[in-house]
Each structure stands twice: as structure tokens, then as C-alpha cells.
Chains A and B, each alone.
Chain A
């Protein structure tokens, strides 16, 4: 039966993807032999003769002299078994596999010119997974002098680097955390769970249960240690002042209405912070530290302002670095960011070190004042109480006195009496009070 072979224009070894047809050396009806020259084609450089891969009868010529033809185009059909009688399945036999279009080079087929910008279909997924990290290679059974079989020794806790960092920032020992991640690893959730005292929330004490025991660990443990260290090292003296902050409250309203403060929470705390920063400049000892080991008092020429923040896990004191160099707007933004970060539990250890003076806002709880404990290493801490409407004696210009409702609050400052003496502490507190009473004084 007929055995039709198609010859497609091959790469001709001259670095091209097309050729011009010059001359046919055969015609339909000719009988050709293998390697007989069929056709002459022209490349950019020279004429090339193409030898026939097949012997047989020329059935058809598919291109004409003068045409430009791409590589891979069928140019001739040859019946390798002519004289067949039965006409059954038509031509399309396995044509001479024309090679894919490639740019031939001196030393080989050359690079492929077709693109493969798609994933090919697969019989099965053979993708390595994170679990491959746990493979211990099997012992080499073929090598006669192999060392004793390596069993992975009992290894320390497994956790990804970011999880380790989280645990460290929360002061949690990974070894005490129950791992529920894949392959025995400690996950982020495991650490958060452990930081919560191992419970999602305080368990409701059922009637009849007399006690609930909460392990002392994590943030609470560290905070407790810090407080004890501070309270029993630095002699604390606390001074109080009650002030009329109406002017500050009016200023607050005017500032909050300004366009640049549109996205920032302008709270009274912001102005207290600003007043503290200004006053600390005049009394640098309150921003210093008692370095017992070095035998020095260190006065710092920058203020890293700590804001005590209550979180689910307890009290933390992140600080704003170089707060004294900030504008009111920048300070407001920094306080907002600090608060948000603390609330979401993402405060970094670096944010909680290096503070130089702290404000604790007891006022948010509705409390008037207190005797705050110094953040270890600092010499001053200001407690800012609730701002209330209170009766106040107001003296008119002519000396007459009236009782008026005013915005009133209490400020307390505890200071380290080793390096801050009474006069300095009082001076600092009264400076803060003065700015908050009459904000215009800040212009001086």
C-alpha cells in the first residue's frame, strides 16, 4: 500500500529559520534515491542542496521556486511504496520528524526558539514540602566501613526563626511550650497560648472550686521582677499637684480640628507628654540614671519617652525614641502607633529598652492619681490622672474670686531620690504643671 513520506524543510545548518526556494531538481513522477539532491534552497549566505531522506516516487511538490518557506514546512511528498493498489488511509503517515525550529550553532543543534511559558502536565505531584526538612538520611548500608548508624540525637526544641523571636520578646522559654505545629515544631499560636498563661481566657471558677492557680511566667513574671528591683533599689519620693487644665483642653480642641492632625488622636496625654519633655530639659536629672556599677550619674541628652500600656498579658512600657526631637504631630503619631502595637501584642523588645523617663496614664481608669513605681534604670515617672470637671477658684483681674467649673486633673511624679533631690523634683513637676495650665508658656 502507499507509504507517503513528507519531507519538511529542515534547519540547514546556516543559522536560519527560513529559506528561499531556488530550484527543484526533481519533478512529480520522478523516482528518487536516498540522498539524491531534491532541491536547492538559498540561505542568507549561500545556496544549499538538500538530499532526500527517502527513496520512492515523487507524489507532490508543495512549494514553488521563488517562494520563501519557514523551517518545518512540508516541501515534498514521496511515496516510498509506490504501485500500491488499495487506497485506504490517506497520506498522513509518520512524516519525517522535522526537528523543532532551532538556531544551529557551530557545535550543535543550537538554542530552541519556541517558548515554553507554561507548565507541562504532570502524572503526579512531586513537590518537596516543608516536611522534607525533617528527613534524616538513611544509613548507608552498602558501604562496608560505614560509621555506626546515625540516629538523630534528642534535639532541642524545633521552631522557625520568627517564632523564636516572638518567644524571646515575650520572655517565654520555648522548651516549656507544648508544640502543636507539624512534625513536633512550636508554632506562633503555641507561643501566644503559652503567653496567655496557657489558657485562652481566665476560667470561670465553678462553685466549689476554692482556688485557681496561675503559673507565674511570661510577661507577668518579668514585670514583677522589674518592679521589685526598682522599688527596692531606688528610694522613691512622690510629689503631687492639682492643676486647672482648661486652657490645654481648649488648645486640644483647636489642634484636633487642624487638617494635619486629622488622622491622629489628639488626646490630653499628648500635651502632658509634650509638657514632660519640655520640663525634662530644665531638670535633666529627672531624665538621668543612677549607674551604681560605674559609680556615675548619667545625664542623657535625649529623651526616650516611655508610655505605660496595659495589654492582655500585663503592663509593658514601650518607649518613643528621641521624643524630645519630635513635633507635636510626630509625637501624636508615635503615641498612636505605640499604643496600637502594644494592643496587638507586637511590641518588639528593642522598643521596651532604652527608656529614659515614663508617663503612666492612670486617668483612663478614672483614677485621680497614684504613687507610680519607677521603670528600672529611670529616675522619674509621671502619673497623669483623670481630667474632671471640678469647682475651681478663679480670680478675676480686679482680684474678686468666683467658683467656676473647670477642667481639673492631678499629676504625680515619683523620682529616684539618689540623683533627683526635692528641689529638682518639685521644680520638674511645677514646670509640667505650668505648661499645662498655661500652654502659651511653651512659646518661651
Chain B
């Protein structure tokens, strides 16, 4: 097994506003006005999102989910980006952005249905301006691009009206940056000067393939080849992620065109719950990244600043327990879909032949006394 040392050394050109030790630092391009209360709120987001992830893994181990794609280690990248979005902005996730879903107000139980096998998505993109999870790698980059084309044609770019100007945030990973669709999205966005921000979570691994398999250059520099700016942020730094994404989205809203943000982070857990990372990476790599934990640094900052009350961390922990219970109970109660539903949502206008098949299927399922679950 080849050694992967790139993930261990500190990276140059990386925007960082909060060090792993919890020290606030400044960056000339990304001034951040933020209060301690707001940072505390981000801490709460981070803890609760990590708890969702932990519970989901346990549920999978208990046979309640078929699989789970863990975001352990990537919480800061996602909360920072998610909290930078305005209500009217639209986010296009892949399938690991549970932290962004949290920020958009999507109930975590709704996400579980896809992994449990009770639905194929389970929510309306219009409810929270958060698109359904897209499993085909990179496909959503084009959907986001098309959506941005629509935003432009609606005249919702560069008006100066903060409530109206709209940006699109497209998420994908380091592996996806090799896909044709992602590159085509870059082409179209640049050519059209579209109001879109591409947020690439480079968590160093695409299942078993390190990012060096995908690209010879750091991913943020790819944008230059297409004609728009790219920036790398410390993906484990929620403040940097927030500041950079906020600026990028504002620029997009103001008709400055697309931007690529590479959130440099690490996939602490396996690709999904049935993956075995011991086959392709060394444990000490994970150990090194533990030292850069996104939540620990925020806690350290808040503690050092005496920015929160004694009870604050306990309150968050209590809230996390309640959320966990909600998820455990709710997951087990998720209902199986009805037989008709398989047919009812194929078309807006159901053809006769399909209706006949549906009736046949419904009758068949109804005639079996012990349906296979």
C-alpha cells in the first residue's frame, strides 16, 4: 500500500480563521464579523449534526438502515456553507450533506428514509430550497447550473435587492471533480457567468482512491482553467467555511459569476457503513486528523473566551440526547411505501397500460398473506 502523506502536512493557500487549537486568526480577503453568540450557535449545529451521524451509524448496526454515508469530520465544512445560504438560495447536495440539510431545516428523519429503503428521497426541494440527494456522482452539478440559468432568466441576479438576488450552491466531492458532468458544469457556468458557487468537499478519499488519483493539481486551482476563481479553505474550520462561502454567494448574487470553493477536510469514517478503510489507508492518518477536529476547536475557543455559561455545553448535550431519541424512535416508525405509490409517481399523467400493471401488482401484493419485508 502506497503511503499518503499529503493529508498530513499543513496546506498552503488555505483560508483559516480558527486554528485547530481554537485560536481566532484573520485573513485579509475574508474579514468575518461574528459574535460569540453566533459562534456558540454554530457549535450547537456542529454537535447536533455529529449526533445525527452517530445515531444513524448505530441504527445501521442494528439493522434499521441498509447503509449510512457518514459525514464525521466534515461537519464544519457543511455547517459553515449551510449557514452562509440565504432563504431564497438553492442548494444541490450529493448524498452526504446531512449538515447542510440541517441548516436548511430538513428533519433528519426525512433523510433516513432513503437509507432505510422506505423512500427514494422523501422531501420536496421547494420546502427548504434543498434539492433531493443525488446518488449519480456529479450529476447535480449540472442541475445546479441549469437552476442558476433559470435564476438569471428570472432577473434575480444583481438587482441589489438582498431578498431577491439568488445564488445556487452546488456540493460535490473530490471524486466527482473527475466526472464529465462536473466539468461541463464548470464550462457552462463560466460561459454564462452564472450565479453559482461550487463547493467541493475534498475529504481526501473517493471510497478507496486518494485525491491524487483524481487530480494532478490542487482542486481549487482547476477553476482557473475554466476561467473563474477558486479558493481553498480549511474544511475543518467552520468560521472559514462560513466566511468564504458567504462572500462567494454574495458575489454570485451580484452577477460576479461562479466560484469554486475547495473545503480541505477528511472523511474520518468509511465511505459508507459497509466499507473497510483498513484495506486502503493507515490508521495513523485518521489519528492525525483527529487533532484537527472541527468541534473541539470551537469548544476550545468558547471555553477560553468564557463566551458561554456553565450550563451551555450541558444544555447542548441534553439537546443532543433528545435529538438522538427522536431519531431512534422515528426511524423505527418510518412506514413502508404502499404498492400503489411505486406506480403513482412515475408520470404526471398515467398511461392505461401502467394503470393495468398497477392494478395487477396491488392485487398480487394484497393476495399474499405474509409479504416479504
A residues near B, CB below 8 A? 10-15, 34-35, 45-46, 48, 50-51, 53, 96-99, 104-110, 116, 120-126, 128, 137, 140
Contact = CB atoms under 8 A, between A and B. Distances in A.
Contact of B61 (A13, A106, A123, A137): A13
A35 B54 contact: yes
Nearest to B57: A51
Contact of A106 (B275, B278, B279, B325): B275
A10 B65 CA distance: 12
Closest 9 pairs between A and B when the two form their complex, measured CB to CB: A99-B63, A108-B66, A109-B66, A13-B273, A51-B58, A122-B367, A10-B63, A126-B363, A121-B369
Interface residues on B, range: 20 to 34
A105 B272 CA distance: 10
B356 A120 contact: no
Given A12-B61, A45-B278, A35 B367 contact: no
A105 B66 CA distance: 9
A105 B274 contact: yes
Nearest to B207: A106
17 contacts: A10-B62, A10-B63, A11-B63, A13-B67, A13-B274, A14-B276, A35-B324, A96-B62, A104-B273, A107-B272, A120-B369, A122-B368, A123-B366, A123-B367, A124-B367, A126-B367, A137-B352
Contacts of B369: 120-123
B205 to A, nearest CB: 14
A19 to B, nearest CB: 12
Interface in B36-91: 54-55, 58, 60-63, 66-67
A14 B62 contact: no
Contacts of B210: none
A194 to B, nearest CB: 37
B367 A104 contact: no
B274 A53 contact: no
A105 B191 CA distance: 41
Contacts, number: 83
Given A13-B61, A13-B274, A122-B369, A108 B363 contact: no
Contacts of A13: 60-61, 67, 273-274
A13 B58 CA distance: 11
Given A34-B328, A109-B117, 15 more contacts: A10-B61, A10-B63, A14-B276, A15-B274, A45-B278, A46-B278, A48-B61, A51-B62, A106-B271, A107-B67, A107-B272, A110-B66, A122-B369, A125-B367, A137-B356
B354 to A, nearest CB: 12
Nearest to A105: B274
A13 B70 CA distance: 14
Contact of A46 (B63, B276, B356, B363): B276
B347 interface: no
Interface of B: 54-55, 58, 60-63, 66-67, 117, 207, 271-276, 278-279, 324-325, 328, 352, 356, 360, 363-364, 366-370, 372
B93 to A, nearest CB: 17
Contacts of B117: 108-109
A112 to B, nearest CB: 8
A58 B60 CA distance: 22
B274 A106 contact: yes
Nearest to B364: A126
A12 B279 CA distance: 17
Most buried by A among B67, B275, B278, B328: B67
A35 B273 contact: no
A53 B328 CA distance: 9
Most buried by A among B61, B279, B352: B61
A106 B368 contact: no
A50 B67 contact: no
Contacts of A11: 63
Nearest to B328: A34
Contacts of B328: 34, 53
A134 to B, nearest CB: 15
Given A13-B61, A120-B368, A140 B352 contact: yes
A121 B67 CA distance: 32
Most buried by B among A12, A46, A53, A122: A53
A128 B367 CA distance: 13
Nearest to B321: A34
Nearest to A122: B367
Nearest to A10: B63
Contact of B67 (A96, A108, A128, A137): A108
A414 B260 CA distance: 102
A50 B61 CA distance: 7
A106 B370 contact: no
A11 B324 CA distance: 22
Nearest to A97: B63
A46 B270 CA distance: 13
Contacts of B324: 34-35
Contacts of A109: 66-67, 117
A11 B274 CA distance: 10
A207 B278 CA distance: 105
Nearest to A8: B63
Contacts of B274: 13-15, 104-107, 110
A51 B275 CA distance: 19
